[in-house]
């Protein structure tokens, strides 16, 4: 795609999202004038952009939706569910067309038919009757197989005198009603009609009665232009591609075409007359004239020659003359048209395509500079930002090395002034590097509203489908997180929404019986807590019954019976995140297959966070996603075990404890201890990594790092805890790319490579 097309795709998607939000809000909160205006402007701008890139089907559908919104704004039509449904259906189709346009720079071949069907449905809601004897509203559709009265009258009045079988295409009738202000839009109705090839009949009439001369506005167009032509509908649609909402094109059925008797002596006087007319036009073109007369002279000669050829039933040659005219005007020379006429005179049966120059296509009108949207935002390719973040990460690593040198200088102690100066410079570099890295990370921070805005439409449609009344409340849309995290949130949120609406929220009858309001409240809330990004999905439905969870877990053998019995009611709720778990009585196309909540937990874990759930029977359920603000910088704890050093993500560390041997008990085959009334198993990190244990292990106070992974709490026994660092993790590469148990690598200040553990794979 070229730059214009890329800009259209980007802006079209933004406008579709905005219009969708406004339509949902109109239905939910009422038709505030400013909201209707905003939705109308979105449709209008989208329609204009589609016209600029020459997408007539999209323009036709959007114009019909624009008329619908105008009627709602004027109070002629309520913002009913049916009206909003049809407007949203139009946006759905336009969104699909934008995807097709991005992929292939064109719309599907059936886009025109789809657009007319959408326009019919939208205009049917307007219920605007047409007066008898006048042309129907442009863009509307006649009944299947019927020819509009205006087309029948035009055929009768103008006396079409050409046999249908002589035409290269099925004939069409054209009704063009320019807008009153078309001249101010840069439209030239007469010129558009002149571009129609194979014209057999034409009529220009007033669209409405003319006012008194004193009240006549000379700048307002009050015309209706009608034509019968032998060109195909696709060619005519291309001519009127920038005003498809103002034109109606219908194919003329065979039974409506007049019977034309065979012309006797067709090769006699008629042929001689046609040749004489063409010869005269060639002489006119060869006569020298002033440059300002060039356009008029070429146009007049081409029209006269083409009309003569059509009179002689040679529409194929007439079309060739018109193409030669286009080429002559584009080249600024009469030579292409003179050559075409000369070829006809010398070889009357030759096809004009073999002698004229290639036709020049019609270029899309450039957008008016005054209408271009001015924005202070700058679109930057994501790869460039990632490269900048990588450089900032390398700076952080080198800064850690600077800190190592500063400590060595202080330990040597030969020049205390030099060591203190080095420490001051290190502190300054550390501050600047941290601020630089934070500022660069802000480039990737986007508001969570980008993903939230996808759900009002989804909640609305699902609620209608399930016959439930649901009010969606969104809080904290402006809360920002890393773009990678926000982009990955849609799928887990989709599963949470489906489960809540299908399983959690009751029907209206059930809510009335429980003493609740008929309309359920479904809340999506985003907050920022320190360096964590918290997302909550809350419903006031029936809640999750722990007894039901236990029964389903036993039926599906998700846990051993004794382990399941040892869990409290709060702890057993975490079982819903297990693969294959579902409380649905039957599988539907919405939920019930036992994969949704597992996806939620897996996605949260991949992003470096975790998920939890709290629920109260009869009150509602809250699912909480606790995620990092960004994934470009990781905070780790450096620990030592088996004479090796490893990194552990601080997000997984709950606390560190030192225990004497008497506080540790043997529970079955594992050692463990009690932490705040909860039994915590102990796992030796050296043993888990197949390293030799410390010689003093078990004989003295043991150092434990209490971690939480996927809802499990495990204490890692280590030999020592060194430092806490902010680092940039690099993925495992080369021979270690398939090694399990590691999240990545980073460099310590002394240049040593540090392996950062993936506790989900390390812990048994």
* Separation between Cα atoms, residue 761 and residue 758, nearest integer Å: 6
Check residues 107 and 407 and name the one with the higher pLDDT. Answer: 107
Residue 524: band (very low, low, confident or very high) from pLDDT cuts 50, 70, 90 = very high
Is the pLDDT at 459 greater than 60? The verdict is yes
Domain 634-762 superfamily per CATH:
CheA-289, Domain 4 (2.40.50.180)
Fold of 3-124: 1.20.120
Question: Given a cut of 70, is residue 661 above it in pLDDT?
Answer: yes
Evaluate whether 377 touches 370 at the Cβ level (below 8 Å).
no
Q: What is the pLDDT of residues 399-438, one digit of tens each?
A: 766 777 777 776 666 567 777 777 777 777 777 877 777 7
| Upper half-sphere CA count for residue 602 (Cβ side, 13 Å) | 9
pLDDT by residue (tens digit) across 125-159?
A: 875 443 333 334 444 444 444 677 788 888 777 65
Which one has a higher pLDDT value, 516 or 399? Answer: 516
pLDDT at 244: 66
pLDDT, residue 263, reads 39
pTM: 0.54
Task: Read off the DSSP letter of residue 360.
Answer: P
pLDDT of residue 130: 36
Neighbours of 483 (CB within 10 A): 17
Q: Which residue has the tokens 């589609």?
A: 50
Across 183-192, 318-327, 382-391, 623-632, least confident range: 382-391
Please name which of 559, 575, 438, 463 lies closest in space to residue 520, comparing C-alpha atoms.
463
pLDDT band at 646 (very low <50, low <70, confident <90, very high): very high
* Predicted pLDDT at 128: 43
Average pLDDT over residues 280-307: 81
Annotation: CATH topology of 149-256: Alpha-Beta Plaits (3.30.70)
User: Tokens 């004027």 map to which residue?
Assistant: 74
- pLDDT at position 535 is 92
What is the rounded CA–CA span in Å between residue 673 and residue 666?
9
Q: For residue 474, give every residue at least 6 positions away whose Cβ sits within 8 Å of its Cβ, in sequence order, or none.
A: 449, 452, 455, 456, 523, 524, 525
> Measured at the alpha carbon of residue 129, what is the angle toward residues 126 and 135, in degrees to the nearest 5?
115
Q: Is the pLDDT of residue 523 over 90?
A: yes
Q: Which H or E run includes 633?
A: none
* Rounded CA separation 249/709 (Å): 66
As a whole number, mean pLDDT of residues 702-726 equals 86
Model confidence at 33: pLDDT above 90? no
Chain-wide mean pLDDT for the chain? 78
Please give the sequence-ordered ranges of beta strands (E in DSSP) within 380-518, or none if there are none: 445-447, 470-475, 480-482
Comparison of pLDDT for 40 and 747, the residue scoring more: 40
**CATH number of 446-628: 3.30.365.10, 3.40.50.970, 3.30.565.10, 3.40.50.150?**
3.30.565.10
Q: What is the pLDDT of residues 467-511, one digit of tens each?
A: 899 999 999 988 988 888 888 888 889 889 988 888 889 999 999
């Amino acid at each position: 795609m070229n730059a214009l097309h890329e800009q259209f795709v980007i802006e079209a998607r933004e406008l579709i999202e905005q219009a969708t939000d406004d339509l949902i809000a109109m239905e939910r909160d009422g038709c505030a004038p400013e909201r209707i205006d905003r939705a109308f402007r979105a449709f209008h701008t989208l329609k204009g952009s589609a016209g600029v890139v020459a997408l007539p089907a999209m323009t036709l559908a959007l114009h019909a939706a624009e008329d619908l919104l105008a009627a709602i704004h004027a109070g002629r039509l309520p913002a009913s569910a049916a009206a909003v449904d049809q407007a949203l259906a139009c946006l759905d189709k336009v969104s699909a067309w934008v995807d097709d346009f991005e992929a292939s720079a064109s719309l599907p071949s059936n886009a025109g038919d789809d657009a007319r069907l959408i326009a019919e449905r939208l205009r049917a809601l307007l219920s605007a009757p047409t007066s008898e004897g006048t042309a129907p509203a442009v863009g509307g559709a006649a009944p299947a197989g019927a020819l509009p009265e205006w087309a029948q009258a035009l055929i009768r009045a103008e006396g079409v005198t050409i046999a249908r079988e002589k035409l290269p295409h099925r004939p069409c009738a054209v009704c063009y009603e320019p807008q009153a202000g078309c001249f101010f839009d840069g439209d030239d109705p007469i010129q558009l009609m002149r571009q129609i090839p194979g014209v057999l009949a034409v009529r220009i009439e007033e669209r409405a009665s003319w006012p008194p001369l004193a009240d006549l506005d000379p700048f307002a167009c009050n015309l209706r232009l009608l034509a019968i032509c032998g060109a195909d509908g696709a060619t005519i649609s291309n001519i009127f591609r920038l005003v498809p909402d103002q034109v109606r094109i219908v194919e003329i059925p065979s039974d409506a075409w007049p019977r034309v008797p065979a012309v006797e002596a067709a090769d006699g006087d008629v042929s001689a007359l046609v040749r004489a007319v063409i010869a005269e036009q060639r002489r006119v073109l060869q006569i020298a004239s002033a440059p300002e007369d060039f356009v008029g002279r070429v146009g007049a000669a081409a029209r006269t020659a083409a009309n003569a050829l059509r009179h002689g039933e040679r529409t194929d040659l007439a079309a060739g003359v018109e193409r030669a005219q286009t080429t002559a005007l584009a080249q600024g020379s009469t030579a292409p048209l003179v050559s075409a006429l000369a070829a006809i005179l010398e070889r009357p049966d030759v096809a004009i395509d073999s002698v004229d120059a290639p036709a020049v296509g019609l270029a899309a009108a450039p957008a008016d500079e005054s209408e271009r949207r001015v924005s202070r935002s700058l679109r930057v390719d994501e790869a460039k930002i990632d490269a900048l973040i990588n450089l900032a990460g390398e700076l952080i690593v080198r800064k850690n090395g600077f800190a190592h040198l500063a400590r060595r200088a202080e330990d040597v102690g030969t020049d205390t002034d030099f060591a203190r100066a080095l420490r001051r410079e290190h502190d300054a570099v550390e501050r600047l590097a941290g601020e630089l890295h934070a500022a660069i990370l802000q480039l990737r921070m986007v508001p969570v509203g980008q993903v939230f805005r996808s759900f009002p439409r989804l909640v609305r449609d699902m609620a209608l489908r399930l016959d439930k009344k649901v009010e969606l409340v969104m809080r904290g849309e402006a809360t920002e997180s890393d773009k990678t995290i926000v982009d990955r949130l849609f799928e887990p949120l989709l599963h949470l929404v489906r489960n809540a609406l299908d399983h959690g929220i009751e029907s209206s009858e059930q809510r009335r019986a429980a003493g609740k309001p008929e309309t359920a409240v479904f809340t999506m809330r985003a907050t920022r807590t320190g360096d964590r990004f918290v997302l909550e999905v809350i419903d006031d439905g029936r809640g999750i019954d722990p007894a039901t969870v236990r029964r389903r877990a036993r039926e599906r053998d998700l846990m051993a019976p004794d382990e399941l019995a040892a869990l409290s009611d709060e702890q057993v709720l975490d079982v819903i995140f297990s693969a294959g778990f579902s409380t649905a009585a039957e599988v539907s196309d919405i939920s019930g297959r036992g994969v949704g909540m597992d996806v939620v937990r897996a996605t949260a874990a991949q992003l470096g966070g975790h998920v939890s759930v709290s629920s109260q029977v009869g009150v509602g359920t809250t699912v909480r996603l606790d995620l990092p603000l960004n994934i470009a910088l990781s905070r780790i704890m450096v620990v030592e075990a088996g004479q090796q050093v490893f990194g552990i993500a601080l997000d997984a560390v709950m606390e560190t404890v030192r225990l004497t041997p008497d506080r540790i008990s043997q529970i079955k085959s594992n050692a463990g201890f009690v932490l705040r009334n909860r039994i915590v198993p102990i796992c030796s990190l050296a043993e888990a990594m197949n390293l030799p244990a410390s010689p003093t292990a078990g004989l003295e106070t043991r150092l434990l790092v209490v971690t939480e992974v996927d809802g499990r709490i495990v204490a890692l026994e280590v030999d020592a805890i060194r430092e806490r660092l902010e680092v940039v993790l690099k993925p495992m590469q080369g021979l270690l790319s398939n090694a399990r148990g590691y999240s990545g690598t980073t460099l310590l200040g002394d240049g040593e490579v540090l392996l950062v553990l993936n506790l989900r794979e390390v812990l048994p």
